[in-house]
């Protein structure tokens, strides 16, 4: 009996100790309790907008009301409806209350700490992804003195369905997912100070579609002052086929894909048709607009953001040229083999040429044939991968860097590290391969060399998040100086088996590509 009593006492004391040690934050959103996990305080699944049901589907997000009682932020919320589940926990695959965020912060900080804040936007072609993917675990950044916030936003049709009817009603359409991100950013500005964050030192960042979304924030004057820095890993608003290069191209893609979805369910773009789509399971809609781009015949069902002149400029290219962007310092870059993961290894030369004509007008296609000629030293796979990497990611990066650097500090990197064990499929330093290095979330069997490269990249990002300068954390400087980018020098930092400054190797080719798509045409 004494043994049972002693065990009950120990259990009670353990529970009491856990309750006392759980981090608790008093914020404008209410009282929020997190967890102490491996030396980091984590708050998971905090809602920043109301549950997306009924009339709130295909509509601007509505700010969540303050909690009336303590909110226990101990588990991730559901993922946004999507057809690709990647490596999600099965318990996260359902539920409408998925507009939430997760906060990783250094242990023991308080509202007076004022530490830098990193807001991370996940990628996934605007069709897949989640802020709770283990790859985006912000624990290492938190251990290094950064509050990291990851978030969910609406995807696929739920996030990017265009409707002329809704455009008239709301003044925007097809950008519901981007509006979610903006709503999250507003929540962060209002509440992160209570968690110890410095609202005058907020960086927004993302990879792929997440970087495209972050670049949209840079071009949105309504968000002036809500963030001071941006990290764009392989992505900007200037991207084909994820957005389109100009207003006409973007509108054709966005409208036709959305009209196709209306038609597949036998309805039109009307109040009745929209209500019918709202009555359907969002996961069913997600299966009808998964990422499925086929370059050779220009087919696809995935939704894209809409250049509405409100959330996104009608011409991002022209706004950049005119200097219409927010005052932010930017770190951005590309991987050596951006396009490989988007190309079938068996693609033929005829497929490449057919793709040029299927996606673009005859004059443009002819120019592209000359710029991306297959030679004895290059295969159809290599040239198609090179082209798609350029139009999807590299060209937009170059255009953003050229124009932002006229008035802002811009740092450009080239990620070029490939462990010997990782080249079995021939994809090389492919799209998104830099992420585990950036977050320092490496597999346990990573080699010492791999860990060294990750430390370099992570440390440079860390410096940038703290000071806006990847060369300094405020007290000590790096040995190799990462020069700011400008159009005359265009120096970039190569991160690979060795790290050093190099010339921007893609510059001349991308200048020609910009001439083809923008200078010689009306955009």
- The count of domains in the chain is 1
Cα separation, 358 vs 31, whole angstroms:
55
Whether pLDDT at 3 is above 70: no
Quick one: pLDDT at residue 521? 62
**pLDDT tens-digit series, residues 51-61:** 989 999 999 99
With cut-offs at 50, 70 and 90, classify the pLDDT of residue 251. very high
- Has residue 482 been placed in a domain? yes
Whether pLDDT at 204 is above 70: yes
Q: Return the CATH number at 175.
A: 3.40.50.1820
- Has residue 421 been placed in a domain? yes
- Has residue 224 been placed in a domain? yes
Model pTM above 0.85: yes
N residues, the chain: 523
- Has residue 80 been placed in a domain? no
Written as six digits, the tokens of 344 are 């079938």
**pLDDT tens-digit series, residues 337-347:** 999 999 999 99
Domain that residue 440 falls in: 2-62+85-519
With cut-offs at 50, 70 and 90, classify the pLDDT of residue 423. low
Q: Among 9-18, 251-260, 399-408, 426-435, which stretch is predicted with the lowest mean pLDDT?
A: 9-18
Quick one: pLDDT at residue 5? 53
Quick one: pLDDT at residue 367? 96
The closest of 423, 452, 426, 425 to 437, measured between CA atoms, is 452
- Has residue 78 been placed in a domain? no
Whether pLDDT at 16 is above 50: no
Written as six digits, the tokens of 365 are 């296609």
Whether pLDDT at 446 is above 80: yes
**pLDDT tens-digit series, residues 452-485:** 999 999 999 999 999 999 999 988 899 999 999 9
Task: Work out the percent of the chain whose per-residue pLDDT is above 90.
Answer: 85
Whether pLDDT at 2 is above 70: no
Average pLDDT, integer, range 394-416: 97
CB atoms within 10 A of CB 143: 15
Whether pLDDT at 383 is above 90: yes
Q: Among 12-16, 164-168, 259-263, 350-354, which stretch is predicted with the lowest mean pLDDT?
A: 12-16
Quick one: pLDDT at residue 38? 87
Quick one: pLDDT at residue 332? 98
Whether pLDDT at 94 is above 70: no
Whether pLDDT at 432 is above 50: yes
Whether pLDDT at 13 is above 90: no
**pLDDT tens-digit series, residues 358-376:** 999 999 999 999 999 988 7
Quick one: pLDDT at residue 84? 65
Kindly list the distances between the CA atom of residue 84 and the CA atoms of 88, 290, 292, in Å, as whole numbers in the listed order.
9, 8, 11
Whether pLDDT at 83 is above 90: no
Question: Torsions phi, psi of 36, nearest 5?
Answer: -95, 110
Positions marked catalytic = 208
Whether pLDDT at 19 is above 50: no
Apex CA 209: angle with CA 207 and CA 210, to 5°?
A: 50
Beta-bridged to residue 120, according to DSSP, are 150, 205
**pLDDT tens-digit series, residues 263-306:** 999 999 999 999 999 999 999 999 999 898 999 999 998 999 99
Whether pLDDT at 14 is above 80: no
Contacts of 282 (CB under 8 A, 6+ apart): 57, 81, 96, 157, 158
Quick one: pLDDT at residue 474? 85
- Has residue 139 been placed in a domain? yes
Quick one: pLDDT at residue 489? 85
**pLDDT tens-digit series, residues 206-223:** 999 999 999 999 999 999
Quick one: pLDDT at residue 522? 55
**pLDDT tens-digit series, residues 148-173:** 999 999 999 999 999 999 999 999 99
Quick one: pLDDT at residue 377? 78
- Has residue 263 been placed in a domain? yes
Average pLDDT, the chain: 92
* Bigger pLDDT: 215 vs 21: 215
CA 235 to centroid of chain Cα atoms: 8
| 117 within 8 A of 202, measured Cβ to Cβ | yes
**E-state strands within 228-382:** 229-233, 329-335
- Strand duo 30-33 + 491-495: pairing: unpaired
Q: What dihedral do alpha carbons 243, 249, 254, 258 form, nearest 10°?
A: -150
- Has residue 71 been placed in a domain? no
């Amino acid at each position: 009996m004494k043994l049972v009593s002693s065990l009950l006492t120990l259990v009670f004391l353990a529970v009491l100790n856990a309750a006392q040690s759980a981090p608790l934050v008093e914020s404008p959103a209410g009282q929020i309790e997190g967890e102490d996990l491996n030396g980091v305080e984590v708050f998971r699944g905090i809602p920043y907008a109301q549950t997306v049901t009924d009339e709130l589907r295909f509509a601007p997000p509505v700010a969540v009301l303050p909690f009336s009682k303590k909110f226990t932020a101990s588990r991730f919320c559901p993922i946004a409806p999507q057809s690709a589940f990647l490596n999600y926990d099965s318990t996260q695959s359902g539920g409408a209350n998925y507009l939430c965020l997760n906060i990783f912060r250094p242990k023991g900080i308080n509202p007076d700490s004022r530490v830098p804040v990193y807001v991370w936007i996940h990628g996934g072609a605007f069709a897949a992804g989640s802020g709770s993917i283990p790859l985006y675990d912000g624990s290492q950044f938190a251990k290094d003195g950064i509050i990291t916030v990851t978030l969910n936003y609406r995807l696929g049709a739920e996030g990017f369905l265009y409707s002329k009817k809704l455009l008239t009603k709301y003044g925007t359409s097809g950008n519901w997912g981007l509006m979610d991100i903006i709503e999250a950013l507003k929540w962060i500005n209002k509440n992160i100070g209570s968690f110890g964050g410095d609202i005058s030192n907020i960086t927004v960042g993302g990879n792929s579609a997440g970087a495209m979304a972050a670049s949209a924030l840079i071009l949105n004057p309504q968000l002036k002052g809500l963030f001071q820095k941006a990290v764009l890993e392989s992505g900007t608003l200037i991207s084909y086929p994820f957005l389109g290069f100009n207003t006409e191209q973007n509108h054709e893609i966005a409208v036709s894909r959305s009209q196709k979805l209306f038609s597949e369910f036998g309805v039109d773009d009307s109040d009745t048709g929209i209500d019918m789509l709202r009555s359907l399971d969002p996961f069913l809609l997600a299966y009808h607009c998964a990422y499925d781009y086929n370059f050779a015949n220009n087919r696809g069902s995935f939704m894209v953001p809409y250049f509405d002149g409100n959330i996104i400029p009608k011409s991002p290219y022209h706004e950049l040229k005119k200097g219409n962007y927010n005052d932010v310092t930017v770190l951005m870059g590309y991987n050596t083999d951006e396009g490989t993961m988007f190309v079938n290894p068996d693609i033929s030369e005829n497929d490449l040429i057919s793709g040029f004509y299927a996606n673009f007008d005859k004059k443009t296609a002819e120019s592209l044939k000359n710029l991306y000629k297959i030679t004895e030293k290059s295969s159809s796979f290599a040239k198609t991968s090179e082209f798609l990497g350029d139009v999807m990611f590299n060209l937009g990066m170059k255009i953003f860097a050229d124009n932002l650097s006229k008035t802002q500090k811009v740092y450009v990197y080239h990620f070029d590290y490939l462990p010997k064990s990782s080249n079995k499929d021939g994809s090389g330093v492919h799209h998104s391969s830099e992420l585990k290095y950036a977050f320092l979330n490496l597999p346990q069997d990573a080699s010492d060399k791999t860990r060294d490269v990750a430390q370099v990249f992570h440390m440079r990002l860390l410096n940038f998040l703290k000071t806006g300068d990847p060369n300094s954390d405020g007290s000590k400087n790096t040995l190799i100086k990462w020069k700011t980018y400008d159009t005359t020098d265009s120096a970039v930092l190569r991160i690979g088996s060795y790290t050093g400054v190099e010339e921007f190797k893609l510059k001349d080719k991308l200048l020609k590509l910009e001439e083809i798509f923008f200078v010689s045409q009306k955009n």
